[in-house]
Structure 1
Amino acid sequence: MRSLWLLLALGLLALCHVQASEEIDDIESLDDLDDIDENEEEYLRLLEEKAKIKDVERENEIANKLASVRHNLINPVVEVDPCETMPCGAGRICQMKDNETPECVCIPECPDELDTRRHVCTNANETWSSDCAVYQQRCWCDSGDERCSNPDNAHMHIDYYGSCHEPRKCGEEDMKDFPRRMRDWLFNVMRDLAERDELTEHYMQMELEAETNHSRRWSNAAVWKWCDLDGDTDRSVSRHELFPIRAPLVSLEHCIAPFLESCDSNNDHRITLVEWGACLELDADDLIERCDEVQRSQPHLLG
């Protein structure tokens, strides 16, 4: 940066020096020198006076130009893409309308997915080629696009990953043992993320505590996952927010859907921390205590 300043200053000074030489060469043609006595001393005095005035003018000009350059370097004009700060949600992308206003439109194309592992099953028990195709269709139906194949698809969502299949029935014994399996799964996921250094500092401390204090193992893992799911930080988890935990497990754990449904004890389509603890057969007071600690350390997580 200092080298750049020196180059700019030297360039401007050189330019001004050339201009100054030309002005001194032409000074004899100036009108105010026409009536000067041939006295050489008076002539030199006036010449020196005019040179000083020109020097001051040049210095001011150089200072102004350098100040302008410095301002542009420190405060560059950066063009911000309006779409970068405009979230559109699944199945939509941001585009500029008439090159002036950003707007969210349905994603124009989804990749052709030939791999069946990309298939997803919706809540209507229909297999789609990819999650992109589901979100695109939902957007078309929501916006009244003629490409909407069924108006009901406006409320379609992904139930689980993979092609639709006949779900296994969750028996009474399976359901009874499911909270234990769920607690184990939550802790194992938390431990795996900690080993990959993908947890926040506070959650890393919670995981370490869970490793060394078995009485905290289940409550720490349960609070971590509940906070992770509570995306809008309103102290409850909606069925939509449960998607990241439900979709990957449906095809592997046939009891996950009825288990999560049972957690919503008052059937208000939301799961509170107390309801979450009851489902996992954990002490609600302990979970609330853990949650309060998270809130104090990371208030942005829980609002």
Structure 2
Amino acid sequence: MRSIWLLLCLGLLALSQVHAEDDGFLDDIAEFDDNDEEFLQLLEEKNKNKDVERENELAQKLAEVQHNLLTPVVEVDPCETMHCGAGRICQLNKQDKPECICIPECPEETDTRRRVCTNKNETWPSDCSVYQQRCWCDIKEPGCRHPDNAHLHIDYYGECHESRVCDGEDLKDFPRRMRDWLFNVMRDLAERDELTEHYMQMELEAETNNSRRWANAAVWKWCDLDGDTDRSVSRHELFPIRAPLVSLEHCIAPFLESCDSNNDHRITLIEWGACLELDAEDLKERCEDVQNSVPQLLG
């Protein structure tokens, strides 16, 4: 209906333009006699030109109307392209600009399997509640229970349980076991063709060159964990490697804690290598090539 009314309006506008053009045309041909053959030819040509012009104009207007009806303008939600970290969601501020805020409310969890244990050996109802608390403490919101919770992270899923003490020979031998584990995981993923092309090249180099065996595996996992590509791994980014091993390796937690030698809650490649007892000269950072390739897979 909207398009029909628009076409009627366009027709009336075109008709008024015809009358105006006719008045000017009559002034131009006043000198011709009504029986003059030249006058009749000129009049016929003029009418044909006006008919063509009107048809072209109406066809163009109709095409524009049909285009607008078939392809309406769709407003894009600015928050769709806004990435917020764990414990945060996107919302529009008073200026209609997207911004990340702490999750206002976490779903109430009744399933005990949703509980998580943090690095403080405290059981929380869900991962959402941990991330929310960390966000509140990060921006100093009233809901923050303790300033140190700004660095709160999940150790493993499930309620906290008493851990075995890691000391003596277990702690001393752990870097070697960790190096072997990283290489075996890398090799297993390569055999299943679940590594990116660049990772596959690193694994092949490690297979054929014993001097690169542990170093390549260490660099691969460190680059893989560096999700935000800031050339350091946060304690939160260590979660994919820490959580699955806590129940199996009682030394994993103290080992990873020891990697953060300057206690800044970040682990650089040099710190990672020192933790694994690798020579810093063997650690060639190759993350740029890795992170520009296809999406990575965690081991």
Q: TM-score, normalised by structure 2?
A: 0.71
Partners in 1 of 2:92 and 2:123 — Cα distance?
A: 33
Secondary structure of residue in 1 paired with 2:155: strand
Counterpart of 2:206 in structure 1 is 210
| Aligned mate of 2:76, from 68, 76, 80 | 80
Partners in 1 of 2:150 and 2:262 — Cα distance?
A: 27
| Aligned mate of 1:190, from 186, 189, 192 | 186
Counterpart of 1:163 in structure 2 is 159
Q: How many residues align?
A: 272
Q: Which is further off, 137-146 or 192-201? A: 137-146
1:121 aligns with 2:121: no
- 8 Å contact 1:162–1:251 — kept in the other structure? no
- Let me know the Cα RMSD of the aligned residues: 4.0
Partners in 2 of 1:223 and 1:266 — Cα distance?
A: 20
Which AA in structure 1 matches 2:218? A
Q: Residues 25-51 of structure 1, C-alpha deviation per residue, up to 9 Å, x if partnerless?
A: x99xx6639977552745641332212
CA-CA distance at 1:133 after TM superposition: 1.9
Q: Which is further off, 229-238 or 204-213? A: 229-238
Residues 196 and 60 (structure 1), Cα distance of their counterparts in 2 relative to 1, 3 Å cut? farther
CA-CA distance at 1:52 after TM superposition: 3.6
Secondary structure of residue in 1 paired with 2:283: helix
Runs of 5+ consecutive residues of structure 2 not aligned to the other structure: 1-6, 294-299
Secondary structure of residue in 2 paired with 1:121: strand
1:224 aligns with 2:220: yes
- 8 Å contact 1:119–1:161 — kept in the other structure? yes
Residues 109 and 189 (structure 1), Cα distance of their counterparts in 2 relative to 1, 3 Å cut? farther
Counterpart of 2:97 in structure 1 is 101
| Aligned mate of 2:241, from 245, 249, 254 | 245
Residues 172 and 199 (structure 1), Cα distance of their counterparts in 2 relative to 1, 3 Å cut? same
| Aligned mate of 1:53, from 39, 49, 69 | 49
Q: Which is further off, 152-161 or 203-212? A: 152-161
Counterpart of 2:145 in structure 1 is 150
CA-CA distance at 1:151 after TM superposition: 4.2
| Aligned mate of 2:270, from 260, 270, 274 | 274
CA-CA distance at 1:71 after TM superposition: 9.7
Q: Residues 157-202 of structure 1, C-alpha deviation per residue, up to 9 Å, x if partnerless?
A: 3233221111110021111221122112212332344345443221
Q: Residues 47-95 of structure 1, C-alpha deviation per residue, up to 9 Å, x if partnerless?
A: 32212431552475368559968998xx995533211232322112112
Residues 238 and 135 (structure 1), Cα distance of their counterparts in 2 relative to 1, 3 Å cut? closer
Partners in 2 of 1:115 and 1:187 — Cα distance?
A: 36
Partners in 1 of 2:59 and 2:215 — Cα distance?
A: 66
- 8 Å contact 1:161–1:251 — kept in the other structure? no
Residues 190 and 115 (structure 1), Cα distance of their counterparts in 2 relative to 1, 3 Å cut? farther
Which AA in structure 2 matches 1:216? R
Paired-residue identity, %: 76
Partners in 2 of 1:96 and 1:132 — Cα distance?
A: 22
Which AA in structure 2 matches 1:194? A
Q: Which is further off, 183-192 or 31-40? A: 31-40
| Aligned mate of 2:258, from 249, 257, 262 | 262
Counterpart of 1:12 in structure 2 is none
Residues 149 and 259 (structure 1), Cα distance of their counterparts in 2 relative to 1, 3 Å cut? closer
Counterpart of 1:286 in structure 2 is 282
1:90 aligns with 2:93: no
Partners in 1 of 2:190 and 2:82 — Cα distance?
A: 32
